[in-house]
Amino acid sequence: MTFDEIAEKRVSVRKFDAERKISIYNLRTVIDAARLAPSWKNSQTARYHLVTDRTVFSRLLKGLSPRNAENAEGASALLVTTFVKDVARFRDGHPDNELGNGWGIYDAGISNSYVLLKAAECGIDSLVMGIRDAEAIRLILNIPDDEVVLSVIALGYRVSSVARPRRKELDDILKIY
Ligand SMILES: Cc1cc2nc3c(=O)[nH]c(=O)nc-3n(C[C@H](O)[C@H](O)[C@H](O)COP(=O)(O)O)c2cc1C
């Protein structure tokens, strides 16, 4: 598949086929793509917490907004994304520049996009969810305090076709100097 085909295939799915599961092998293949993402000074602070166990899965749904929980219910796995704070871009406890831990979010976003696109290449659908209770999720999965909880990504297979929301035109987002 070309990059354009993969990017075209990735779309946010909000109804997953509960009968179809993704193998651990395929889930690992998808998340493995994250390791190739660039990061500040190659600091690689993005982290992934993968939940496939249905008991933990059900508990984790409670850390999402009711709408997100309903949408993610049929997914095969939930992937909590975090980054390790205060490691990269900090010297003697002081940030290298004004973005500080903002770069951790930046790097994690790039890393997460590799996961989403690799999933699409493998025929696996996804939904990034930012409307969640980070502290509830930290407690449920026992995520260490030095990690900042970002999103929860549902991974599974769509039930039916999904329309992509409209995008801005290139010239709305690009200035050439
Ligand atoms: C950081 C982030 C947080 C998001 N949070 C949610 C969410 O909580 N619930 C949801 O249904 N979609 C969420 N989305 C999905 C966006 O609504 C979606 O990506 C956008 O509308 C574009 O549609 P597309 O992904 O189908 O191309 C989120 C996306 C991102 C990148």
With a 6 Å cutoff on the Cβ, whether 126 touches ligand 1 is: no
In a domain, 76, yes or no: yes
In a domain, 153, yes or no: yes
Residue of 68, 70, 113, 128 best suited for mutating to test ligand 1, as the one with most atoms within 8 Å of CB: 128
Work out how many domains the chain is built from and give that number: 1
For residue 16, CA distances in Å to 11, 24, 112 come to: 13, 18, 20
Q: What is the pLDDT of residues 124-160, one digit of tens each?
A: 999 999 999 999 999 999 999 999 999 999 999 999 9
In a domain, 27, yes or no: yes
Ligand 1 centroid vs 109 CA: distance in angstroms? Answer: 13
Identify the CATH number of the domain in which residue 74 sits. 3.40.109.10
d(CA 86, CA 100): 8
d(CA 146, CA 65): 24
- Residue 3: Cβ within 10 Å count: 9
With a 6 Å cutoff on the Cβ, whether 164 touches ligand 1 is: yes
In a domain, 164, yes or no: no
In a domain, 50, yes or no: yes
Q: Which of 114, 115, 82 is nearest to 101 (CA)?
A: 82
Residue 88 pLDDT: 67
Return the exposure string of 132-171: e unless at least 16 CB atoms fall within 10 Å of the residue's CB, then b: bebeebbebbebeeebbbbbbbbbbbbbeeeeeeeeeeee
Residue 53 pLDDT: 98
Q: What is the pLDDT of residues 109-120, one digit of tens each?
A: 999 999 999 999
Residue 18 pLDDT: 97
Q: What are the residues whose beta carbons fall under 8 Å from the beta carbon of 31, sequence distance 6 or more?
A: 48, 50, 79, 115
Residue 98 pLDDT: 84
Ligand 1 centroid vs 37 CA: distance in angstroms? Answer: 21
In a domain, 166, yes or no: no
Q: Left (φ > 0), alpha (ψ -120 to 50) or beta: where does 24 sit?
A: alpha
Ligand 1 centroid vs 126 CA: distance in angstroms? Answer: 10
Report pTM: 0.97
Q: What is the pLDDT of residues 24-63, one digit of tens each?
A: 999 999 999 999 999 998 999 999 999 999 999 999 999 9
Give the domain extent around 111: 3-159
Residue 121 pLDDT: 98
